[in-house]
């Protein structure tokens, strides 16, 4: 246990049915391998909302969400080599893992066999309580889990790369998407818009499936080659057998079967949004008759996250954002629930510090 801690301002919720409000949390003293970051911007992920409202069960209160963090290094431990005071730094969804299991040894810390530690609502190995995320002034993180930010990218618009970016990059890389690939994305929100930008960056042909006809123009502006309105049976039928990879970002239970029909032979539908049992049931017939797969994927490892950030630096890819103040967070969650996201909210953390 650490001997000293620092009080920092944060924004969080004491219960599933409460609104988020200012509170004080503790950050540990910087150890030899730690980096202390003054948080400048934090993206707002739908997972923040799921956690604040205990949608998945298991939220420990108070909960301070936020795992798309960009800031400035204010202190480093004696053994730190990755960054120095004054550098920009980023933290995503992971702040710790065992580092020795089979998954960690393969740079797949997000699948740590001994349990990865989430940036929020994880088990803090230092202070013993739950971890607190980026809706706060400062964070202290082991250097292994801190990322370098390409110097040419806008800092606020880089924040969403740390979750929305890596969560869509990881399946694009795992399923080897490139110039000859036909990719589709289900849902145009934070993850969806990054999936379009990154798949285009890799040279793929990209289609968006959306329930929202109003988003067609935006999707094209973000790089989509085509848009299919998923509630239109005729449009869905016209896409039969079309895609090598589909990334499904929808946060709530929905029918996957119509999307399986739009996969090419050997195609894969990767679910990254909804967690849980399916309804209606998934029919195996089209999977067997077309050697198709339905898979899942969780964020990405640290090395892969750095690879994605470097790729974004080289290709000038950032998120399309709406900057908000910390005090707007409760209204922002209501807008997310209405799919009124264009296309990632990012909190300007100066708004918390000036309170
Ligand atoms: P978001 O910004 O709210 O976007 C979700 C989009 O899905 C919406 O804009 C909407 O797009 C569509 N949608 C929403 N509700 C729907 C419904 N009931 N039926 C059909 N479509 C619906 O959310 P996000 O931040 O991108 O996160 C998406 C999901 O991924 C969340 O559940 C989040 O927890 C999860 N997530 C998973 C990982 C992982 O590692 N696997 C990482 C981060 C987040 P249209 O208007 O275009 O239909
Ligand atoms: Zn997230």
Closest CA to 103 of 115, 93, 91, 92: 115
**pLDDT-based confidence at residue 293 (cuts at 50, 70, 90):** very high
> Considering the entire predicted model, what is its pTM?
0.98
Percent of the chain with pLDDT over 90: 98
Categorise residue 345: left if φ over 0, alpha if ψ from -120 to 50, beta otherwise: beta
Residue 171: nearest ligand to its CA?
Answer: 1
**Does the pLDDT value for residue 2 go beyond 90?**
no
Closest ligand 1 atom, CA of 212? 46
Closest ligand 1 atom, CA of 272? 41
- Per-residue confidence (pLDDT) for residue 3, from 0 to 100: 59
- Per-residue confidence (pLDDT) for residue 1, from 0 to 100: 47
**pLDDT-based confidence at residue 286 (cuts at 50, 70, 90):** very high
- Per-residue confidence (pLDDT) for residue 354, from 0 to 100: 85
Kindly report, residue by residue over 21-49, the tens digit of the pLDDT: 999 999 999 999 999 999 999 999 999 99
Q: How far apart are CA 167 and CA 299, in angstroms?
A: 4
Ligand 1 site-directed mutation target among 324, 339, 341, most atoms within 8 Å of CB: 339
Decide: 67 in ligand 1 pocket, CB within 6 A.
no
Provide mean pLDDT across the span 301-310.
98
User: What value does the mean pLDDT of the chain take?
Assistant: 97
**Residue 41, CA distances (Å) to 137, 349, 351 in order:** 10, 5, 10
With tokens 């709530």, the residue in question is 252
Decide: 163 in ligand 1 pocket, CB within 6 A.
yes
Ligand 1: centre distance to CA 95 (Å):
23
Decide: 211 in ligand 1 pocket, CB within 6 A.
yes
Kindly report, residue by residue over 306-322, the tens digit of the pLDDT: 999 999 999 999 999 99
**Residue 210, CA distances (Å) to 189, 275, 288, 297 in order:** 10, 19, 27, 21
Closest ligand 1 atom, CA of 274? 32
**Does the pLDDT value for residue 355 go beyond 80?**
no
Q: What share of the chain is helix, strand, coil (3-state, %, to 5)?
A: 30, 30, 45
Kindly report, residue by residue over 66-107, the tens digit of the pLDDT: 999 999 999 999 999 999 999 999 999 999 999 999 999 999
**Contact criterion met (CB below 8 Å) for 90 and 162:** yes
Kindly report, residue by residue over 224-272, the tens digit of the pLDDT: 999 999 999 999 999 999 999 999 999 999 999 999 999 999 999 999 9
Q: Is the dihedral of CA 278, 284, 285, 287 positive or negative?
A: positive
Decide: 272 in ligand 1 pocket, CB within 6 A.
yes
Q: How far apart are CA 40 and CA 332, in angstroms?
A: 19
Kindly report, residue by residue over 142-186, the tens digit of the pLDDT: 999 999 999 999 999 999 999 999 999 999 999 999 999 999 999
Kindly report, residue by residue over 132-142, the tens digit of the pLDDT: 999 999 999 99
């Amino acid at each position: 246990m650490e001997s000293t801690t620092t009080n920092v301002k944060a924004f969080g919720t004491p219960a599933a049915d409460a609104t988020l409000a200012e509170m004080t949390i503790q950050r540990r003293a910087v150890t030899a391998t730690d980096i202390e970051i003054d948080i400048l911007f934090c993206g707002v992920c739908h997972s923040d909302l799921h956690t604040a409202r205990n949608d998945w069960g298991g939220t420990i209160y108070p909960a301070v969400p936020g795992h798309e963090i960009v800031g400035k290094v204010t202190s480093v431990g004696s053994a730190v080599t990755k960054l120095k005071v004054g550098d920009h730094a980023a933290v995503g969804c992971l702040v710790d893992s065992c580092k020795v299991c089979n998954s960690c040894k393969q740079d797949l810390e997000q699948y740590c066999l001994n349990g990865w530690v989430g940036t929020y609502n994880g088990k803090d190995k230092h202070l013993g309580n739950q971890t607190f995320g980026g809706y706060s002034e400062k964070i202290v993180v082991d250097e292994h889990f801190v990322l370098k930010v390409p110097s040419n990218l806008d800092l606020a618009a880089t924040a969403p790369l740390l979750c929305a970016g890596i969560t869509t990059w990881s399946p694009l890389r795992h399923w080897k998407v490139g110039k000859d690939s036909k990719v589709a994305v289900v849902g145009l929100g934070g993850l969806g818009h990054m999936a379009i930008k990154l798949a285009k960056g890799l040279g793929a042909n990209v289609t968006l499936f959306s329930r929202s006809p109003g988003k067609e123009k935006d999707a094209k502006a973000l790089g989509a080659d085509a848009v299919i309105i998923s509630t239109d049976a005729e449009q869905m039928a016209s896409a039969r057998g079309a895609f090598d990879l589909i990334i499904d970002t929808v946060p709530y239970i929905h029918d996957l079967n119509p999307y399986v029909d739009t996969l090419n032979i050997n195609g894969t539908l990767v679910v990254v949004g909804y967690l849980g049992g399916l309804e209606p049931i998934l029919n195996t017939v089209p999977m067997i008759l077309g050697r198709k797969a339905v898979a899942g994927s969780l964020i990405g490892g640290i090395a892969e996250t750095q690879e994605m950030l470097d790729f974004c630096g080289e290709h000038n890819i950032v998120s399309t954002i709406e900057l908000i103040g910390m005090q707007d967070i409760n209204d922002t969650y209501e807008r997310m629930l209405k799919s009124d996201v264009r296309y990632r909210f990012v909190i300007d953390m100066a708004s918390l510090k000036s309170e």
